[in-house]
Structure 1
Amino acid sequence: MKKLLYLITFCLTSWAGIAQKTQQNEAFAHTFSIVARDPQTGDMAVGVQSHWFSVGTTVSWAEAGVGAIATQSFVNKSFGIRGLSLLKSGKTAQETLDILLSDDAGKEVRQVGIVDQKGNVAVHTGKNCVDYAGHVKGTQFSVQSNMMLTDKVPAAMAKAFESSANLPLAERVLKAMEAAQAVGGDIRGKQSAALLVVNATDTGKPWDDNHKVDLRVDDHALPLVELARLLKVQRAYEHMNEGDLAVEKNDMKKAMEEYGAAMKMFPNNLEMQYWTAIALANSHQTLKASAMLKKIYAKDTNWLEMTKRLPKVGLLTVSEKEFQQLLKR
């Protein structure tokens, strides 16, 4: 019994010593993540999953034209902002990591992955990160994990990322995370995930550059499944946005193509159905548009009221006869 008490005391004391070396408000984020740059587009990304609430607000950091950073294990969140600032000043990924760790008393419980705008990569796994902990540094990417169920996670993530080069960067990052979960993932389970993709260059429009993909699942039984669903929704709404732009330019053929592409991805989404129908109407395919609208009105009459409002603002440009046909329920 005395030996057991001694062991418990020793363990608690050891962990207390580690905790004292870290900042008082630091979060635990035992997790797996990936930082990566797309060699074709230059875009940069961070993907992460953890058994921790809202991991995306802690681990993932990125800025257009600068780089991407994942800071985890016993998280030092300052590594995100300070790291991006160092990269922005012209430091490489490795130089940035070296500076961040140089005065960090808790570096042995840190795990950090960095990719800069040129594709340089730096990664660190402290010797006191909880097993299984490790990383793989690849060409323009790194994967890192700690407190995993098995030691297979980094290799599985690297293989999945490298073998999906035909996909867009966000989808490749998601594939890597799915591979991590497939070989066991976090020993504690799963709770949250995040996916952030930023532009290759700073165009002076951060509202566009830093939100190419910016998705978070803060609390979910299957965070990667939900993240994949959200990414698919985003891709569909990218088509919707392109359709809206085409409408602004009075290119109804293009609008119909884009709205139609979105609707194919989510055929039960009423809004996608609706704007496809309106694009058909503006292309004078009145009968087809009317048939679609009748089904939409039957499910939600608010869309009928919406149709009545469109001619006033130029979003429905049809004859009075065609307009009356479109209002039929």
Structure 2
Amino acid sequence: MKLSAALLLTFIFNFNGFSQQVYSKKEPFAHTFSIVARDTVTGEMGVAVQSHWFSVGSLVAWGKAGVGVVATQSFINPSFGPRGLSLLENGLTPKLAVETLLKLDAGRDVRQLAILDVQGNVYTYTGKNCIEAAGHIIGDNFSVQANLMEKNTVWPAMEKAFKNSKGSLAERMLIAMEAAQKEGGDIRGKQSVAILVVKAKSTGNSWEDKVVDLRVEDSDNPLVEMRRLLTIHSAYEFMNKGDLAVEQNNFKLAKEHYKTAQKINPNNLEMKYWYAVTLANNNEMAEAKVIFKNIFKQNNNWKKLTPRLVKAKLLLVNESQLEEILKL
């Protein structure tokens, strides 16, 4: 279903009240740099943003599986997020969605807005009064945009980095963000960062539709912290796959997933513990006992937990084998 011109005007006036269309000093501002992008292989769509402003992701980054993503920044209008996604759902292109949102917005000259849809179509707007250095570049299945930057080479650096990057969509967007910071970034400095990635198709369950949803709300080095969090996130994705394999009694597959998780995040005791449990379930007791012993030495609570797993049928060992483990 597509919206008619009359319905579009009704939408603009009625969504969350027309007062939100008026630029005022009470509106939050997030001078920042960001990227909206789509993975052409998986179809996943994402937004990444950094700013010298607290909790930038809570207002700038918006996304919905099977629909698209939105980045609203500079002197931001937070309603552009949900309203932009609603316009996409009703059949508008990103270009028409942006134009519709700005049509009766008194603050359009200080807005910066990027919208990308599920097909990878993207449109970006930079108001003429956004604080310099400000601008954007629209690429194939992505756009980069920035305002209040130290210099006008920041967003071109993002474009180049993203186009030359490899890995998951979240990883590639983070690489673009790191390139922006290396080029000078926000002239005021840095404080918060967010990455949001949603699925190409909705599962019908909103809690399953977000692939990545990470934020660093306040930090001296938010991108460094985001890099750490994304690494841990990737490791736990394999832990989750391992847990699913355990539920299906496929302990060999679980072992491989847990092993991969450990490689990504080698200092996490819990990941080592569940790997040891899986080894024991695969009758590889000698290797399992070496790992259990090391873990128990560092934190005895894991030893206390172990007998409980037998009752829950997560640790498939007999009484003598359990006794061997608990003597470590």
SS in 1 for 2:112: strand
In the aligned structure 1, how far is the partner of 2:26 from the partner of 2:39?
34
In the aligned structure 1, how far is the partner of 2:271 from the partner of 2:203?
31
SS in 2 for 1:48: strand
**Contact 2:162–2:173 under 8 Å retained in 1:** yes
**Alignment of structure 1 residues 8-23 onto 2, 5 Å:** 22-23=23-24
2:34 matched to 1:33? yes
| 1:232 counterpart residue number | 231
Call closer, same or farther: CA 1:23–1:88 in 2, change over 3 Å. farther
How much has 1:21 moved relative to structure 2? 5.3
Deviation digits for residues 29-71 of structure 1, max 9, x if unmatched?
Answer: 0000001111111110000000000000010000000110000
Structure 2 unaligned segments of length 5 or more: list them.
1-20
Q: TM (normalized to structure 1)?
A: 0.92
**Contact 1:73–1:110 under 8 Å retained in 2:** yes
Deviation digits for residues 140-188 of structure 1, max 9, x if unmatched?
Answer: 1110000000110111111111111x32111111111111101100000
2:104 matched to 1:103? yes
Letter in 1 for 2:94: A
**Alignment of structure 1 residues 236-275 onto 2, 5 Å:** 236-275=235-274
How much has 1:303 moved relative to structure 2? 0.5
SS in 2 for 1:171: helix
How much has 1:312 moved relative to structure 2? 0.6
How much has 1:203 moved relative to structure 2? 2.0
**Alignment of structure 1 residues 146-185 onto 2, 5 Å:** 146-164=147-165, 166-185=166-185
**Alignment of structure 1 residues 1-329 onto 2, 5 Å:** 22-164=23-165, 166-209=166-209, 211-329=210-328
SS in 2 for 1:184: coil
In the aligned structure 2, how far is the partner of 1:24 from the partner of 1:206?
34
| 2:13 counterpart residue number | none
In the aligned structure 1, how far is the partner of 2:290 from the partner of 2:257?
20
Structure 1 unaligned segments of length 5 or more: list them.
1-19
Q: TM (normalized to structure 2)?
A: 0.92
In the aligned structure 2, how far is the partner of 1:141 from the partner of 1:241?
29
Could you say what the CA RMSD is over the residues aligned between the two structures, in angstroms?
A: 1.1
How much has 1:249 moved relative to structure 2? 0.9
- Percent identity, please: 56
**Contact 1:50–1:193 under 8 Å retained in 2:** yes
| 2:10 counterpart residue number | none
* Between 92-101 and 35-44, the greater mean CA deviation after superposition: 35-44
How much has 1:25 moved relative to structure 2? 3.3
SS in 1 for 2:49: strand
In the aligned structure 2, how far is the partner of 1:139 from the partner of 1:265?
30
Count matched residues.
Answer: 308
**Contact 2:231–2:265 under 8 Å retained in 1:** no
How much has 1:24 moved relative to structure 2? 4.9
Deviation digits for residues 209-268 of structure 1, max 9, x if unmatched?
Answer: 1x2000000000111111111010000001100110111111111111111111122222
Letter in 2 for 1:142: S
In the aligned structure 2, how far is the partner of 1:195 from the partner of 1:101?
25
* Between 264-273 and 212-221, the greater mean CA deviation after superposition: 264-273
In the aligned structure 2, how far is the partner of 1:300 from the partner of 1:22?
55
**Contact 1:290–1:328 under 8 Å retained in 2:** no
**Contact 1:73–1:109 under 8 Å retained in 2:** yes
In the aligned structure 1, how far is the partner of 2:173 from the partner of 2:69?
13
Letter in 2 for 1:312: K
SS in 2 for 1:307: helix
In the aligned structure 2, how far is the partner of 1:314 from the partner of 1:23?
60
In the aligned structure 1, how far is the partner of 2:172 from the partner of 2:286?
42
